[in-house]
Amino acid sequence: MVSKLILFVSLICVSVCIKEPFQHLPDGCVIHTDQGVIDLTPLGSKYHQPTFKDVVDRITNLYSYSWNPCFAFNEGNCHNVSICQKLLALDSYEILGYPEQVTFQEVEGHTGALVYRSTDQLGQQRVSTILLTCEPILDGIFEAFPEDPILNYKFELKSKYACPNPLTPPPPVTGGSVTATVPTPHPKPGIFSIKIITILLFSIQCSLVVIVILLIVAVVSQITRRYSSSSTSGVPEKLSFAYKQMD
CA atoms of 47 and 67, how far apart (whole Å): 13
pLDDT at 69: 92
pLDDT at 6: 41
pLDDT at 170: 56
Which residues lie across from 189 on neighbouring strands?
none
Which residues lie across from 158 on neighbouring strands?
133, 141
Amino acid at 233: S
pLDDT at 144: 95
Please name which of 138, 132, 129 lies closest in space to residue 109, comparing C-alpha atoms.
132
Domain boundaries of the chain, sorted by first residue: 2-162, 197-232
Residues in the chain: 247
Fold of 2-162: Cation-dependent Mannose-6-phosphate Receptor; Chain A (2.70.130)
CA atoms of 32 and 26, how far apart (whole Å): 12
CA atoms of 139 and 126, how far apart (whole Å): 28
Question: Can you list the residues of the chain whose pLDDT is less than 70?
Answer: 1-27, 168-203, 229-247
Task: Give the HSE-up count for residue 60: Cα atoms under 13 Å, Cβ half-sphere.
Answer: 13
pLDDT at 101: 86
Backbone angles phi, psi at 174, to 5 degrees: -115, 175
Q: What pLDDT, in 10s, does the model give residues 11-53? A: 444 443 444 445 666 667 899 888 899 999 999 998 889 999 9
The residues, ordered by sequence, that sit 6+ positions from 22 with a Cβ below 8 Å of its Cβ are 103, 104, 105, 115
Decide: 17 and 9 in contact? Cβ < 8 Å: no
pLDDT at 3: 45
pLDDT at 44: 92
Q: Do the strands 141-145 and 152-159 form a parallel or antiparallel pair, or are they unpaired?
A: antiparallel
Decide: 110 and 132 in contact? Cβ < 8 Å: yes
Please name which of 85, 216, 99 lies closest in space to residue 150, comparing C-alpha atoms.
85
pLDDT at 232: 55
pLDDT at 229: 66
CA atoms of 231 and 223, how far apart (whole Å): 12
Omega within 30 of 0 (cis) for the link into 21: yes
DSSP string computed for 21-56: EEEE-SSSSEEE-SS-EEE-GGG--SSSS-SEEEEE
Q: Would the pTM of this model clear 0.85, i.e. be above it?
A: no
Which residues lie across from 64 on neighbouring strands?
56, 86
Backbone angles phi, psi at 130, to 5 degrees: -110, 110
